[in-house]
Chain A
Amino acid sequence: MNAGRTPGGVPAVACRGLRHAFGDHVAVRGIDLVVERGEVFGLLGPNGAGKTTTMRVLNTLLPCQEGTVEVLGRDVRSEPMAVRRLLGYVPQQLSIEPALTGRENVEWFARLFDVPRRERRARVGEVLEMMGLAEAADRLAGTYSGGMVRRLELAQALVGRPTVLILDEPTIGLDPVARVGVWTRVEQLRAETGMTVLLTTHYMDEADALCDRVALMHLGEIRAEGTPAELKASLGPSATLDDVFRHHSGGAELDSAGTEKGGLRAVRSTRHTASRVS
């Protein structure tokens, strides 16, 4: 695993004391997070841990209630537009337009990112090529397989040449071959462009395969942080990330009131995404 990160200088993402509540429910309890430029950083944790909420404050979908969040030095509160220009985002849910072709889907986002008209065709072609969709580009996106849909979504996020790529559960609902396909391309991207990648996942094999560093979240807090190797070593010589995960999330997902979290709603939305992608 190359540590392509370049510490020093402005970090890709810097959170300090980030706190977010939905009414009475506190989803994120004052976390500090630093993602260096060029690294692949994984935010891990069980359902309901607060990973997606953290992600959404980072990418300006949710307002920053408490604490500070900066993306490449830009504050999400005072400069949300500047932040959005730097980001590429692939949400967990299906987000392509099935009635358009693959190419049209990417062209649409090229426009939304103000890619100059002269460059648009070339960039769209480039990005589709990178994602292995050049041949299928002129077919309707609705005919694509689950893995192809994910790669198309990546293409849409990349056409704007983002500096930071944010992936929310990038391989959920994909078969093993498709998963490896996505991983290979993320690796390739990072190697070729030095892009910073921030992803959330609850697949430990994904974290192990892709991430330079990870942070494990549980019940709104970061319980552990470091390289996958460091975290595994802290538990023992033959520990896996799964063991680390279980160690920090206490097996069953209980919240402070002792009731099981990551309940129906979280599972239902995960299953919903998974079924639509396949």
Chain B
Amino acid sequence: MTRAVQPVLWLVIFGETFTRLHAIPTGRLPYLDFLAPGVIAQAGLFIAIFYGIQIIWERDAGVLTKLLVTPTPRSALILGKSFAAGIRALAQVVVVLVLSALLGVALSANPLDILGAFAVVLLGSAFFACLSMTVAGVVLRRERLMGIGQMITMPLFFASNALYPVHVMPGWLRALSAVNPLSYEVDALRGLLIRAPAHLGVDFGVLLLAVAAGVTAASSLVARLAR
């Protein structure tokens, strides 16, 4: 429940304030509605990045060693762990959805849309869990990993369309956002949850590719952790 504090702050304080300020142009869409999917994705991001870290270190050093000597392929192990992170992220999604509804965000009532949103967050979080497991396989030390985790979460969030639409971004930020899977996750969530125009096909495609790439990278590095 303490993890719910951050999204609450973003929605309630930042969201409400900026809605009143009309500082960020989101057309006819109230800013709070625009922001909510971004906060959902960010909550998932946060959990996924730190789950990747925690999973590798906490007591798993011994378990991981044993797992790597079973006939189960490394990719299967990584995939399992990354989807576990995704499932954890879903709990946060529910919290933020409920909160958003309470704050008056016009969310879609269609259960298919909600399920779709779950799928999107699952994929996105799976990718970010793979990202942190990959970094874990490179740096190998818990302190460095915690540091890096904290270092990349906020930039990933700010260099995406979570807080502001793409068209207000300067060129360089737009470029970063275009290669940030979080942007695609948020775009899909906006399309599903608040019925904003979105490119669902591209979004799902990018997320699936990102997960595939993430699993590949993490699998090739995971053995380094058991040494």
Measured CB to CB, the nearest residue on chain A to B72 is A112
B67 touches A62 (CB 8 A): no
Partner of B69 from A84, A94, A96 at Cβ < 8 Å: A84
Complex contacts, B73 vs chain A, CB 8 Å = 81
CB-defined contacts of B101 to chain A, threshold 8 Å:
none
A113 to B71, CA, bound (A): 6
Whether a CB of chain B sits under 8 angstroms from the CB of A15 is no
- Cβ contact within 8 Å between A95 and B63: yes
Known: A156-B66, A157-B66. 16 other contacts (CB 8 A): A60-B68, A60-B69, A61-B223, A61-B226, A61-B227, A84-B69, A84-B71, A87-B69, A93-B62, A95-B62, A95-B66, A97-B59, A98-B59, A109-B66, A109-B70, A113-B71
Q: How many residue pairs, one in A and one in B, have C-beta atoms under 8 Å apart?
A: 50
Say how far A78's CB is from chain B's closest CB, in angstroms: 15
Residues of B within 8 A of A93 (CB): 61-62, 65
Set of chain A residues within 8 Å of B66, measured between Cβ atoms:
89-91, 95, 109, 153, 156-157
Contact in complex: B65, A91 (CB < 8 Å):
yes
A91 CA to B67 CA, complexed, in Å: 11
Q: Tell me, yes or no, whether A47 is within 8 Å of chain B by CB.
A: no
Q: Does A246 contact B (CB under 8 A)?
A: no
Q: Is A114 an interface residue (CB 8 A)?
A: yes
Contact pattern, B 42-85, Cβ under 8 Å of A = 1, otherwise 0: 00000000000000000101110111111111000000000000
Measured in the bound complex, the distance between the Cα atoms of B65 and A89 in whole Å is 9
Minimum CB–CB distance for B222 against chain A, Å: 11
The CA of A96 and the CA of B65, in the complex, are separated in Å by 11
Bound complex: CA A61 to CA B63 (Å): 13
User: Taking each of B61, B66, B68, B227, which has the highest tally of chain A beta carbons within 10 Å of its own beta carbon?
Assistant: B66
- Count residues on chain B whose CB falls below 8 Å from chain A CBs: 16
A89 and B69 form a contact (CB under 8 A): yes
Do A91 and B62 touch (CB < 8 A)?
A: yes
A153 to B62, CA, bound (A): 11
Task: Give, as a whole number of angstroms, the nearest-CB distance from B70 to chain A.
Answer: 4
Task: In the A-B complex, list the 4 residue pairs whose CB atoms are closest, starting with the nearest.
Answer: A95-B62, A93-B62, A112-B70, A89-B69
**Contact at A96–B63, with CB atoms within 8 Å?**
yes
Q: Which residue of B lies closest to A90 (CB)?
A: B66
B59: min CB distance to chain A, Å: 7
The smallest C-beta distance from B190 to any residue of chain A, in angstroms, reads: 37
Q: Is B63 touching A81 in the complex (CB atoms < 8 A)? A: no
Q: Closest chain A residue to B76 by CB distance?
A: A112
Given the interface pairs A61-B226, A95-B66, the reply to whether A85 lies near B59 with Cβ below 8 Å is no
Query: How distant is B64 from chain A, measured CB to nearest CB, in Å?
Result: 8
Write out the residue numbers on chain A whose beta carbons fall within 8 Å of the beta carbon of B72.
Answer: 112
CB-nearest residue of chain B to A86? B71
Contact B65 A61 (CB under 8 A): yes
User: CA separation between A91 and B59, bound complex, in Å?
Assistant: 13
The verdict on A201 contacting chain B, using a C-beta distance below 8 Å, is no
Cα separation A160 to B66 with both chains bound (whole Å):
13
Docked Cα-Cα span, A94 to B69, in Å, equals 15
Chain B residues near A87 (CB-CB < 8 A): 69
- B residues in contact with A61, CB < 8 Å: 65, 68-69, 223, 226-227
A153 to B66 CA separation, bound complex (whole angstroms): 10
Residues of chain A within 8 A of B68, CB atoms compared: 60-61
Q: Least Cβ distance of A75 to chain B in Å?
A: 16
Contacts A61-B223, A61-B226, A61-B227: A95 and B70 contacting too (C-beta < 8 A)?
A: no
- Picked from A62, A96, A153, the residue with its CB within 8 Å of the CB of B227 is A62
- In the bound assembly, the distance between CA atoms of A160 and B227 in angstroms comes to 24
Instruction: Report chain B residues within 8 Å CB of A114.
Output: 71
- Give the docked Cα–Cα distance between A93 and B226 (Å): 11
State in angstroms the CA–CA spacing of A56 and B65 once bound together: 10
Between B65, B67, B70, B226, the greatest number of chain A beta carbons within 10 A of the residue's beta carbon is seen for B70
From A90, A93, A94, A109, name the one whose CB has the most chain B CB atoms within 10 angstroms: A93
B223 A113 Cβ-Cβ under 8 A = no
Taken together as a complex, chains A and B put the C-alpha atoms of A91 and B66 apart, in Å, by 7
- A163 CB-CB contact with B under 8 Å: no
